[in-house]
Chains A and B, each alone.
Chain A
Amino acid sequence: MNWKRSLIAAVTAVPVILLFAWGFTRDPGEIPSPLPGHAAPQFSLDVFAPGQPPLSRPVGDTVRLADLRGQVVVLNFWASWCGACREEHTVLSTTARLYTGRPVHFLGVLYNDSLAAGEAWIAEMGGQSYPSMQDPGARTAIDYGLYGVPETFFIDGDGRVAYKQLGPVTGVGLAHIVDSLIAALPPKPAAPATKSRS
C-alpha cells in the first residue's frame, strides 16, 4: 500500500513544488510588456533640452515619431530623481555620439519631473549629446506602458517596438540592439547620413 500513498503524495506535491519553483524564480516587478512586435505608439513631443551638436534640436521643436519612419529610434524615459538613470547616462550619451551619421535617433523623454530639475541634472551630468523632450501628464509614458524609469524602447524602421529595456542599458547591449536594427533597415542610401555630418 505504501507505493500507492507515495504516488498520491507525489502527484499532489509535484505540481505545488513546480508552481512555487516557477513563482520564486521570477521577478514580480518585471512585467512583460505587450508592446514589442507591435506598432510603437505615436508621439509628438516638444524638445526642452536641445542636446549637443551635431545631434541637437532647438528647444520647443516638436519631435514626431511619424517623421522618423525608416530609421531606428532609441527612446529613453528618464528623470532627475531616478538613480539608475545616472548609471546609463554616459553609455547613452556616448553611444548616441558614436552613431552620429547612422540612421538612428536617440531621444530622451522626461518622466514626471520639472523641466528645471531635468535641465539641472543634464548640466550636472556633463551634458547629454541627444535632445530630450517633455511629456506633460505622462501621456506618452502611459501610451508606452511605462511603470518606472529608466525604460528604453527600441523602435525599428517600420515603426514597431522591437525591444524594451527595463532598467539601465549597458554599452554592449545597446550597441548590439542598435546594430541589429540598423542592419535590418531596407538597403537604400540612408538620408540622415548627410544631415548629421553637416
Chain B
Amino acid sequence: MKRNTLVVSAALLAAITGRAGAQAAGASAAPAAQQAAADTALDARTNAVAVQLRCPVCQGVSIQDSPAELAQQMRNLVREQLRAGKSPDEVKAYFVSKYGEWILLQPRASGFNILIYALPVLVVLGGLAVIVVAMRRWTKPPENLSI
C-alpha cells in the first residue's frame, strides 16, 4: 500500500510540475505571438500608406510596388514612423512636405485638384447635353431642319 501511495504521489507531482512547465512555456510563447501579430498589423498599415506614395525614381508606381532602393528605404521610413506612433495622415504629410503633393498617387480633392475629379463628370454631362440637343434636332419634322 505504502509503495502504491508513493507511486501515485510521484505521478501527481510529475503531472503538476509537467503542467507548470507547460504553462511556463505557454507564457513565453504568448508575447512572441503577440509580437508577430503586432508586426503583421504594422506591415499591413505600412503597406496601406506605401501604396499611396509615388516612387521618386520610377515615378509611375508606388513605393510599395517599386523595386528601387530609395523606395525600399522610404517604406522602411514609413514603417518606422508608424511604429513611433504617427498616424498614416501624418506620415503622408511628412512626405508631402519633402516632395510636394506630387508624391501622392491620388491627388487631394481640394483647390485646383478638384478639376481632376470634376472635369470627367462635366465632360460626360456636356456630351449628354450635346446628344440630347442633336437627337431633338434629328427627330424634328424636316421643314424645321436647319443645317
Contacts and interface: CB of A to CB of B under 8 A. Distances in A.
A binds B: yes
B59 A35 contact: no
B99 A145 contact: yes
A33 to B, nearest CB: 7
A37 to B, nearest CB: 13
A161 B113 CA distance: 27
A101 to B, nearest CB: 34
A123 interface: no
Contact of B77 (A33, A139, A146): A139
Given A147-B56, A147-B70, A142 B100 contact: no
A142 B77 contact: yes
Contacts, number: 49
Given A112-B70, A137-B73, A139-B77, A145 B98 contact: yes
B146 A147 contact: no
A142 B97 contact: no
Contacts of A130: none
A145 to B, nearest CB: 4
A144 interface: yes
A34 B97 contact: yes
Interface in B5-63: 56-57, 59
B64 to A, nearest CB: 16
Given A142-B70, A142-B74, A145-B100, 8 more contacts: A28-B59, A32-B102, A34-B97, A112-B73, A138-B70, A142-B73, A145-B98, A146-B56
A29 interface: yes
Given A1-B146, A137-B73, A141-B70, A31 B98 contact: no
Contacts of A1: 146
B106 interface: no
Contacts of A33: 99-100
A104 to B, nearest CB: 25
A112 B59 CA distance: 18
B73 A143 contact: no
B69 interface: yes
19 contacts: A1-B146, A29-B59, A31-B100, A31-B102, A35-B98, A41-B98, A112-B69, A112-B73, A137-B73, A137-B76, A138-B70, A139-B73, A142-B74, A142-B98, A145-B100, A146-B56, A146-B70, A147-B56, A147-B57
Task: Please classify the interface of chain A as helix (H, G, I), strand (E, B), loop, or mixed, using the class held by over half of its residues.
Answer: loop
Interface in A59-90: none
B99 A34 contact: yes
Interface in A121-165: 137-139, 141-148
Contacts of B98: 34-35, 41, 142-145
B120 to A, nearest CB: 14
A31 B57 contact: no
A138 B99 contact: no
B56 A34 contact: no
A31 B99 CA distance: 8
Interface in A6-52: 28-29, 31-35, 41
A184 B43 CA distance: 48
Contacts of B74: 142
Contacts of B102: 31-32
